[in-house]
Structure 1
Amino acid sequence: MSGLSTRDIGHRVVVRHRLDGGQATDVIGVLQSYDEQTLEVRHADSTPYRIHQTAVVAAKPIPPMPLRRVDVEQLFLTTALGRPAVETLYVGEWLLRASGGWTGRGNSVLPAGDPGLPFSDAAKQVEAFYLERALPPLALARIGYPEFEEFTGLGWIDARPAKSDALVLHTTLDHVNGVPAYEVLVAGRPDAEWYEAAFDDQVPATAPPVMEGAPKAAFASVELDGRVVAVARGSMTGHWLGVDAVRVDPAYRRRGLATALVQGLARWAGPAGGRRTYLEVEEENVGALTIYTALGYVEAYRYRYLTSR
Structure 2
Amino acid sequence: MSGPQGGIRARDIGHRVVVRHRIPGGLTDVIGVLQAWTPDLVTVRHADSTVHEIPAADVTAAKTIPEMPLRPVDVDQLFLTTALGRPAVETAYVGHWLLRASSGWTGRGNSLLPVGDPGVPVADALDQAVTFYRERRLPPQALVRVGSPQDHEIRALGWVEARPEQSDVLVMHTTLDHVNGLPAYDVQLDEAPSDAWYAAAFDGPVPEVAPKVLEGAPKALFASVALDGAVVAVGRGSMTGHWLGVDAIRVSDSYRRRGLGTAIVQGLARWAGPHGGRRTYLEVLLENTAAMATYTRLGYQEAYRYRYLTSR
Q: TM above 0.5, one fold? A: yes
TM-superposition CA deviations, 1:182-237 (whole Å, max 9, x none): 11112111100000000001101111111111111111111111100011111111
Separation in 2, partners of 1:141, 1:79: 13
Indicate how the Cα distance of structure 1 residues 205 and 34 shifts in structure 2: closer, same or farther if over 3 A, else same: farther
Does residue 217 of structure 2 align to residue 214 of structure 1? yes
Report what 1:203 is aligned to.
Answer: 206
Partner of 1:17: 21
Which of 87, 110, 118 in structure 2 is aligned with 1:84? 87
2:169 matched to which residue of 1? 166
1:285 is matched with 288
TM-score, normalised via structure 2 length: 0.90
* Structure 1 match to 2:256: 253
* Structure 2 partner of 1:271: 274
From 90, 101, 111, the counterpart of 2:104 = 101
Cα distance, 1:41 vs. partner? 4.7
How big is the shift at 1:67? 1.6
Aligned counterparts of 1:55 and 1:136: Cα–Cα separation in 2: 64
Letter in 2 for 1:237: T
Compared CA separation, residues 273 and 30, structure 1 to 2 (3 A): farther
Residues 253, 47 of structure 1: alpha-carbon distance in 2 compared, 3 angstrom cutoff = closer
Q: Name the counterpart of 1:128.
A: 131
8 Å contact 1:33–1:41 — kept in the other structure? no
Quick one: distance in 2 between partners of 1:139 and 1:234?
24
Q: Distance in 1 between matches of 2:11 and 2:197?
A: 29
DSSP-derived class of the 2:29 partner: strand
Taking the aligned partners of 2:258 and 2:272, their CA distance within structure 1 comes to 24
CA RMSD of aligned residues (A): 2.4
Residue 89 and residue 8 in structure 1: after superposition, are their counterparts in 2 closer, same or farther (change >3 A)?
farther
| Cα 1:136/1:172, change in 2 over 3 Å | same
Structure 1 alignment gaps of length 5 or more: none
Residue 18 (structure 1) shift: 2.3
Counterpart pick for 1:112 among 106, 112, 115:
115
Q: How many residues align?
A: 306
Whether the aligned pair in 1 keeps the contact of 2:49 and 2:177 (CA below 8 Å) is no
- In structure 1, what is the Cα distance between the partners aligned to 2:256 and 2:53? 39
Q: 1:125 to 1:248 in 2, by over 3 A?
A: same
State which of 277, 287, 297 in structure 2 corresponds to 1:294: 297
Question: Does the residue aligned with 1:182 lie in a helix, a strand or coil?
Answer: coil
2:143 & 2:11 partners in 1: Cα distance? Answer: 42
Alpha-carbon deviation of 1:62?
Answer: 3.4
Q: Which of the residues 149, 157, 165 maps onto 1:146?
A: 149
What is the rounded CA distance, in whole Å, between the counterparts of 1:217 and 1:61 in structure 2?
A: 34
Deviation at 1:113, TM superposition (A): 0.4
Distance change in 2, residues 1:131/1:82 (3 Å)? same
Q: 1:123 to 1:97 in 2, by over 3 A?
A: same
Deviation at 1:259, TM superposition (A): 1.3
Over 3 Å counting, the alpha-carbon distance change for 1:259 and 1:39 in structure 2 is closer
Contact 1:10 1:177 in 2 (8 A): no
Structure-2 separation of matches of 1:208 and 1:85: 11
Distance (Å, rounded) in 1 between the aligned partners of 2:11 and 2:283: 29
CA distance, structure 2, for counterparts of residue 272 and residue 10 of structure 1: 23
Q: Find the aligned partners of 2:197 and 2:255 in 1 and give their Cα distance.
A: 16
Q: Distance in 1 between matches of 2:11 and 2:213?
A: 37
Q: TM-score, normalised by structure 1?
A: 0.91
Using the alignment, how far apart are the partners of 1:47 and 1:244 within structure 2? 20
Query: Structure 1 280/204 Cα, relative in aligned 2: closer, same or farther at 3 Å?
Result: same
Per-residue deviation at 1:49? 7.6
Deviates more, 1:102-111 or 1:284-293: 284-293
Superposed displacement of residue 61, structure 1: 4.4
The percentage of counterpart residues that share the same residue type is: 67
- Structure 1 match to 2:194: 191
Cα distance change of structure 1 residues 50 and 303 upon mapping to structure 2, 3 Å threshold? closer
Deviations 1:140-188 (A, max 9, x none): 0111011111111111111111111111111111111222221111211
Local SS of the residue matching 2:222: strand
Post-superposition offset of 1:40 = 6.3
Q: Following the alignment from structure 2 to structure 1, what is the Cα–Cα distance between the partners of residues 12 and 222?
A: 25
